[in-house]
Amino acid sequence: MPTAPTADPEPLDPSRAPANERSARHPDLPGHPDLPGHEPAAAELARAATRAAGDLLAAPARTAEDLPALPARTADDLPALPTRTADDQSPRLAPTADDLPTLPARTRLGDVVPAPERVTPVPDADFVLTADAVIRVSADAAARTVAGQLAALLRPATGHPLPVTDAARPDPAGGITLALVDSDDLGREGYRLEVTSDGVRIEAATPAGLFFGAQTVRQLLPPAIESPTPVAERWTLPGGSITDRPRFPYRGAMLDVARHFFGVPDVLRVIDHLARYKLNHLHLHLTDDQGWRIAVDSWPRLAEVGGANEVGGGPGGHYTRDDYRRIVAYAAERHVTVVPEIDLPGHTHAALSAYGELAPDRVAPPPYTGTEVGFSYVDPTSERTYEFVADVLAEIAALTPGPWLHIGGDEAFKVRPDTYADFVERAQRIVADTGRTVVGWHQIAPAAHAEGRVLQWWGTTGDDPVTADAVQRGARVVLSPANHAYLDMKYAPDTPIGHDWAGLIDLPRAYDWDPGAHLTDVPADAVLGVEAPLWTESITSLAEVEFMIFPRLPALAELGWSPRATHDWAGFRGRLAGHGPRWTAAGIAFHRSPEIPWPAGRPAPAGSPATIPTQPGPEEVAVPTPSA
């Protein structure tokens, strides 16, 4: 990728888009005329997940005292789908509980992902969560919310009532305690966990720390804790203590909802996946050539016209303001910050289709449903363009309580470098006027520095003098190296969806890099954190999203959270192996990476549905259901 656009302005023409790294991501999908029909093997699974998630999310608001278990589902409720393995094309029946992989006999205190900072096991100090257990919590509204969330996670599988009670001095006393404490060493997101035979205690300086400690408690219980219906199980937590806090403050993932639109229930489920592994930012790529996905009152045709398409000519869609508020609120309850992206000045064909006055030739082009990049741009010499940018960013900022506004900035190949720099500098000032901090892809690096600005780096080689220079001028970076962190890259040559322009990314490659030392001449203290983007040109369903993010998302989560001293592939693969049964119990579609010693599954009867055809054998059964 060039570090800044190099060509002179030209009329919009997607057929003349330059050959570049990202346009090479999916050479078999050059545009709408040649787009093959795509009905993924997991389509029925995705639709089932969407329906179930929609039912759950439409339920009345829950309180800490009234958090219902998930709707009961049996094996008979799961859709039967044909699998496509190399040696068995016979129809397969829906799985039953007996078909699930054999669960590990015992979860150890250190079997946590991401790896904690310090783990001290204590033999013979295990705690058994019984039906009369109570969750006690500091008398603080935000802490009580976390206690209610923990109870909601544990009730469906255990069948225990787990009442939540306030306490001025909460004590385990045979249950689980969540306590806010004064502690300088834990920071904003750290926690301490102590498990004894008398009970479990999580303490933290903030509700966010309590929330992440609760996710650790969830992982220390047997994998069947993820079941949406009661399971006969001894709910034991291993004894000992954990002290934990994150390495980087920014740990996130990106979901591209512009190339293919994903509705609110799908986005909320992705937020649940981030929270499960202590990720705290969701970057939403809201606009691109194929679709504009957020309603803007002052420019209504952006969503009405620009949002009515997607790659391949599908119906597209967009989020109303209430939809977007719902996403932001749901994320905030799980201590996840939403980072909205309005990609500028390129990747704007959908906006130009809605408002031709923004185009260089003032003519609205027809909708674009292909996958080329680099051909579109708003007119950077027109004052009307800056009115548009100011209106849109002001409305998005008003809807988004988080500190970040992402302005994209990549692949505006048809804008002269000096004009491009002027545009970025003015856009940065507009962001500052909203009270937010600007984030942009690292192509904005040559522009003048703006206070606090963040560059999201997606290169494939760590030697980038232009980005290093921007850091010297005060920029910070979020690392998303395309050849390590891009979740849309294929796992292997035969992965049925995804791209390979940045290389194949199996699990070892996703795990084996150091964010603190990845960029030459960029010190670790300039690294704000890490993010794993998922571009969706070839990804059309929730099941396919999950298949591409699991198991690589936990690898990136460990890079962002865990101390570098804990980084160890052998240890990680052993810990991650125990999460396969958890994902299966939770109905999460995932790729059974051959590098991981997944627990052996019982032989599946002829006809168990597979998720997406790949290397896994017939024991890979994962049917999405909504998580708590």
Any idea which residues carry the catalytic annotation? 411
Helix axes 264-276, 43-57, angle to 10 degrees: 90
Q: How buried is 246 (Cβ within 10 angstroms: 0-12 exposed, 13-18 middle, 19+ buried)?
A: buried
- Nearest Cα neighbor of 181 from 141, 150, 209 is 209
Is the Cβ–Cβ distance between 131 and 160 less than 8 Å?
A: yes
Ramachandran angles phi, psi of 585, nearest 5°: -65, -35
Q: Which stretches within 18-137 are classed as H helix?
A: 43-57
Take residue 55 and report the two structure tokens written for it.
Answer: 């039912």
The answer to whether the peptide bond before residue 345 is cis (omega within 30 degrees of 0) is: yes
The distance from CA 97 to its chain's CA centroid, rounded to whole angstroms, is 29
The whole-angstrom separation of Cα 501 and Cα 489 is 8
Beta strands in 320-403 (DSSP E): 337-344
**Alpha carbon distance 50, 65 (integer Å):** 27
Q: And the tokens for 121?
A: 């096991």
* CA-based end-to-end distance of the chain: 41
What tokens does 407 get? 């302005």
Helix (H, G, I), strand (E, B) or coil at 578: coil
Separation in Å, CA 340 to CA 170, 234, 404, 486: 39, 43, 8, 18
Q: Are residues 33 and 372 in contact, defined by beta-carbon separation less than 8 angstroms?
A: no
Asked whether the CA dihedral 182, 185, 191, 196 is positive or negative, the reply is negative
Say whether the peptide bond before residue 114 is cis (omega within 30 degrees of 0): yes
> Could you count the other beta carbons within 10 Å of the beta carbon of residue 27?
12
Rounded-to-integer distance, Cα 530 and Cα 533, Å: 10
Token code pair at residue 66: 């009234």
Q: Could you give the 3-state DSSP secondary structure of residue 605?
A: coil
Do residues 543 and 624 touch, judged by C-beta distance below 8 A?
yes
Q: By the 8 A CB rule, do 324 and 294 touch? A: yes
